[in-house]
């Protein structure tokens, strides 16, 4: 199905997840340190990354992976701690799972991020293959986003979020709607996933991320795509 890199220092957890994911059909490369993980990225489809690693911690590993590649990253955190979760998402993670990890939940998240890697966003109506919004051009056929003619490198989740928002300019989408469409979380999900991804997306497409033109916040409701 896919090749997954598991970076987890706890050998019992590492062995258990490796066995479970292998039984689900994945090829799993499992390592115990961030340094070994960074050296094992070649040929990998997705990364499962523990935040609390010895030596180089998971936050730094995540930043380095994201700086070098658009591989989807699912982080493992021992606590549903706001600061840890937000820091991990801001470092570039696409999703997270809280320990103790249920293998079926993790495998479902892996499937979801791999689908997002394909760059296919669900749309309620057919969209033009090439749409221009001010200086921003979105080519849905080629899955390329550019600004003033210069391509912008977006991670798969960032691209999917932009496609979802830009599919209905001016329409306000709630965080829950975006969770369901982009992350495929069909339950009461975590809005921090949306907010962190919006922040990363704005940093790449806005002239001034602090005063966004394209991805606008509608307080108390969610986000909408502009300019109108």
Residue 116's pLDDT is: 76
Of 108, 91, 84, nearest to 20 by C-alpha is 108
Q: What is the pLDDT of residues 36-48, one digit of tens each?
A: 999 999 999 999 9
Domain at 207, CATH number: 1.10.10.10
Residues 21 and 113 in one domain: yes
What CA–CA distance (Å, rounded) separates 78 from 51? Answer: 8
Residues 74 and 179 in one domain: no
Give DSSP secondary structure letters for 141-178.
Answer: TTTEEEETTEEE---HHHHHHHHHHHTSTT--EEHHHH
Residue 19 within a domain: yes
The answer, yes or no, to whether residue 205 has pLDDT greater than 60, is yes
Per-residue confidence band for 121, with pLDDT thresholds at 50, 70 and 90:
very low
The answer, yes or no, to whether residue 120 has pLDDT greater than 60, is no
**Where is the domain boundary, 83, 117, 151?**
117
Residues 101 and 149 in one domain: no
Residues 88 and 141 in one domain: no
Residue 126's pLDDT is: 47
What CA–CA distance (Å, rounded) separates 215 from 166? Answer: 9
Residue 173 within a domain: yes
Asked whether the beta carbons of 59 and 87 are under 8 A apart, the reply is yes
**Where is the domain boundary, 84, 117, 150?**
117
Per-residue confidence band for 127, with pLDDT thresholds at 50, 70 and 90:
low
> Beta strand pairing status for 46-50 and 3-7?
parallel
Domain at 66, CATH number: 3.40.50.2300
Residues 151 and 196 in one domain: yes
Asked whether the beta carbons of 137 and 163 are under 8 A apart, the reply is no
The answer, yes or no, to whether residue 133 has pLDDT greater than 60, is yes
Asked whether the beta carbons of 76 and 88 are under 8 A apart, the reply is no
Residue 161 within a domain: yes
**Where is the domain boundary, 64, 91, 117?**
117
The answer, yes or no, to whether residue 211 has pLDDT greater than 50, is yes
Residue 150's pLDDT is: 94
**For range 45-65, the mean pLDDT:** 95
Residue 124 within a domain: no
The answer, yes or no, to whether residue 187 has pLDDT greater than 80, is no
Map residue 216 onto helix, strand or coil: strand
Residues 102 and 9 in one domain: yes
Instruction: Give the pair of three-digit tokens for residue 146.
Output: 């550019």
Count structural domains, the chain.
Answer: 2
Per-residue confidence band for 214, with pLDDT thresholds at 50, 70 and 90:
very high
Domain range for 172 is 130-225
């Amino acid at each position: 199905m896919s090749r997954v890199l598991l970076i987890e220092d706890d050998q019992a957890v590492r062995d258990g997840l490796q066995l479970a994911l292998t039984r689900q059909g994945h090829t799993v490369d499992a390592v115990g340190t961030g340094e070994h993980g960074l050296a094992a990225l070649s040929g990998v489809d997705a990364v499962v990354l523990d935040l609390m690693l010895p030596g180089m911690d998971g936050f730094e590993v995540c930043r380095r992976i994201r700086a070098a590649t658009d591989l989807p990253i699912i982080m493992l955190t021992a606590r549903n701690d706001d600061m840890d979760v937000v820091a991990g998402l801001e470092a570039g993670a696409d999703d997270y799972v809280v320990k103790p990890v249920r293998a079926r939940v993790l495998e479902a998240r892996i499937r979801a991020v791999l689908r997002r890697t394909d760059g296919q966003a669900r749309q309620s109506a057919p969209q033009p293959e090439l749409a221009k919004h001010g200086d921003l051009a979105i080519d849905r056929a080629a899955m390329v986003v550019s600004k003033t003619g210069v391509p912008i490198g977006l991670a798969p989740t960032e691209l999917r979020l932009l496609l979802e928002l830009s599919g209905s300019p001016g329409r306000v989408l709630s965080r829950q709607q975006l969770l369901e469409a982009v992350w495929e979380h069909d339950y009461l999900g975590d809005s921090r996933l949306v907010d962190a991804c919006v922040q990363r997306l704005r940093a790449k497409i806005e002239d001034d991320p602090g005063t966004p033109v394209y991805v606008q916040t509608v307080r108390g409701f969610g986000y909408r795509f502009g300019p109108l």
